[in-house]
Amino acid sequence: MLLRAQGISKSFGGNPVLKDVSLSFDAGQIHALIGENGAGKSTLMKILAGLYTPDAGTLELEGHQIQWRQPAEAQQAGISLIPQELSIAGHLTVAENVFLGIERTRWGLISDEECRAKTRSLTDEYNLDFSADNRVAHLSPSQKQQVEILRSLVRAQKVLILDEPTAYFSDRESERLYRMMRQVKERGLSLIFITHRLEELEGLADWVSVLRDGVCVHSSTSNSTTVSKILSLMIGGSVESVFPPKERVRGRALMSLRHVSLPGYLHDISLDLHEGEILGLGGFVGSRRTELAEVLFGLQPDYLGEIWFDGRQVRLEDASQALALGFAFVSEDRKRTGIFPHLTVLENVALGSLPDYERNLLISSSVEDRSVGEMLRQFQVRCKSPRQLISRLSGGNQQKCILARWMLTKPRLLILDEPTRGIDMGARIELYRWFDRLASEGYGLLLISSDLRELEGLCDRIAVFREGRLATILEGGDVTREQVVRYAALG
């Protein structure tokens, strides 16, 4: 046993976040920690890495009781935490990042050669497809994660903690990272990682622990449990089914694309989206699905070809135009292009529909409160008050707020780009019910997702993209993940 946490409890401002959690982590093992947002996973990891002090309980490293006074101590002892938001410096090279803060010096000057040589030997050892001299800004997300891992490795680690390392990755990107994690494990380190992707439990994790409401409800080897059992443990009850039944009636064509191209990205896309339909867009990263979504929302005004909406030809040159037509766009990066962190929940939700609340040029608080309040209730957004800052809400609740914002603009067409990314299972199921309900009410939904189960479970039809071209449109019995993968990979 390498690291053991015994009876850990922690509260913030009177709210217990962890209650008497005991877990142990072995060397040469990958330990997956799962649970819904707010279950206490990140807090536990931060306690292990010395960022928080537990209120009660003890930590043991290699049989010795330990107590971190600051994160640096945990690092020196060999425990390091790689946060979800990576902290690497884009302008520096891989080698400079790896040795940042522990640069080898000679006569007071940084000895680049030594750092580069050491980094090079590491990239060779792990068969990484980038070099020590690459600028980190040019690397893909999973390569950046790999740089973070290298950085921890040169600090002679025993325990490596990764907080949702693959949350923003495509399957192919994730696979790269899994390979490296396995290699690190073989060198005898203990890896702990937080994830929302249940498929990662099979094949990658040796051990799985489930947290719910600050309590460890399950901990065992990963091959002794099933994904559905873990799912029910996570949400504390059995799930009938994750996806609602597809009983929607497809109406008339709402939007039609004819020979739409975006030079350098999209080539000759023609497809129809109907009222009452969820149309999926499938494909790998680089299939240019997001670019299509951006064209449709007026963010790529240089497109060619025709777009018809509601029987009229339209030309989409900026987002406010798309908004006026009744398009809504839930973008893939909630933090970067979704929420306004300094604004309250109320202000965030009202932002798309302010003209509706204006009386004599001034925003009427009472009208605004009523409309927003009604939407928050409908979406069951969990917040203390609408006047709370949105940044205080969990990812799932933030995403519901963004959907609520768009619903208030009275859209007819919803473009959803990775709408459930980084959101826990319970909130996901709620969102799925919403998507189904909206489609049943006659809205047209365009769903981009890298989660193949989600595409298969939700969509009536799936348009599969490959390198900017439409490979096929799957219908009926062909709406399966196997078919999506086949066409996405082979065209």
Partner 1 sequence: MKTLYKFLPYWSLFLLFVVFALTAPNFLSPQNLAAILRQSSVITIMAIGMTFVIVAGAIDLSVGSLMALSAIFGTMVLAALSGAGTPDWITIAAALLVSIAAGVAGGWINGFTASALNLPSFIVTLGTLGIYRGLALYVTNGIPVVDLPRSFGWLAEGEILGIIPIPVVILALVAVLFTVVLRKTRLGRYAFAIGSNPDAALYSGIRVSRYRTACFLLLGGLAGLAGMIEAARLITGQPTAGEGYELRVIAAVVIGGGSLSGGEGSIAGTIVGSFIMGILSNGSNLLGISPFVQQIVIGLVIILAVAVDNYQRMRKIG
Residues lying near partner 1 in the complex (CB under 8 A) are found at: 297, 299, 318-320, 322-324, 329, 331, 336-343, 347, 350-352, 354-355, 358, 361-363, 389, 391, 405, 409
Q: What's the closest the beta carbon of residue 326 comes to partner 1, in angstroms?
A: 11
Q: Give SS3 for 5.
A: strand
Q: What's the closest the beta carbon of residue 301 comes to partner 1, in angstroms?
A: 13
DSSP state of 288: -
User: Of the two residues 89 and 324, which places its CB atom closer to partner 1 in the complex?
Assistant: 324
Backbone dihedral angles phi then psi of residue 324, each to the nearest 5 degrees = -65, -30
User: Of the two residues 376 and 452, which places its CB atom closer to partner 1 in the complex?
Assistant: 376
Q: What's the closest the beta carbon of residue 405 comes to partner 1, in angstroms?
A: 7
Contact at 8 Å (CB) between 382 and 397? yes
Query: At how many degrees (to 10) do helices 171-186 and 141-153 cross?
Result: 10
User: Of the two residues 85 and 186, which places its CB atom closer to partner 1 in the complex?
Assistant: 85
User: Of the two residues 334 and 466, which places its CB atom closer to partner 1 in the complex?
Assistant: 334
Place of tokens 């690497």: 88
User: Of the two residues 314 and 485, which places its CB atom closer to partner 1 in the complex?
Assistant: 314
Q: What's the closest the beta carbon of residue 417 comes to partner 1, in angstroms?
A: 10
- Give the whole-angstrom CA distance, residue 189 versus residue 26: 8
Alpha carbon 384 to chain centroid distance? 24
In Å, what is the CA distance from 64 to each residue of 75, 146, 395, 421? 16, 30, 37, 39
Contact at 8 Å (CB) between 19 and 214? yes
Q: What's the closest the beta carbon of residue 242 comes to partner 1, in angstroms?
A: 28
- Give the whole-angstrom CA distance, residue 114 versus residue 268: 51
Choose among 276, 283, 287, 240: nearest CA to 460.
Answer: 276
Q: Where are the alpha helices (DSSP H) in 12-82?
A: 41-48, 71-77
Choose among 58, 116, 124, 468: nearest CA to 285.
Answer: 468
Q: What's the closest the beta carbon of residue 89 comes to partner 1, in angstroms?
A: 19
Q: What's the closest the beta carbon of residue 345 comes to partner 1, in angstroms?
A: 13
Q: What's the closest the beta carbon of residue 389 comes to partner 1, in angstroms?
A: 7
User: Of the two residues 339 and 445, which places its CB atom closer to partner 1 in the complex?
Assistant: 339
Concatenating the DSSP letter of every residue in 222-265 gives GGGS-HHHHHHHHHTS--S-SS--------SEEEEEEEEEETTT
In Å, what is the CA distance from 22 to each residue of 190, 365, 383, 449? 17, 49, 30, 36
Q: What's the closest the beta carbon of residue 418 comes to partner 1, in angstroms?
A: 14
User: Of the two residues 40 and 78, which places its CB atom closer to partner 1 in the complex?
Assistant: 40
Backbone dihedral angles phi then psi of residue 402, each to the nearest 5 degrees = -65, -40
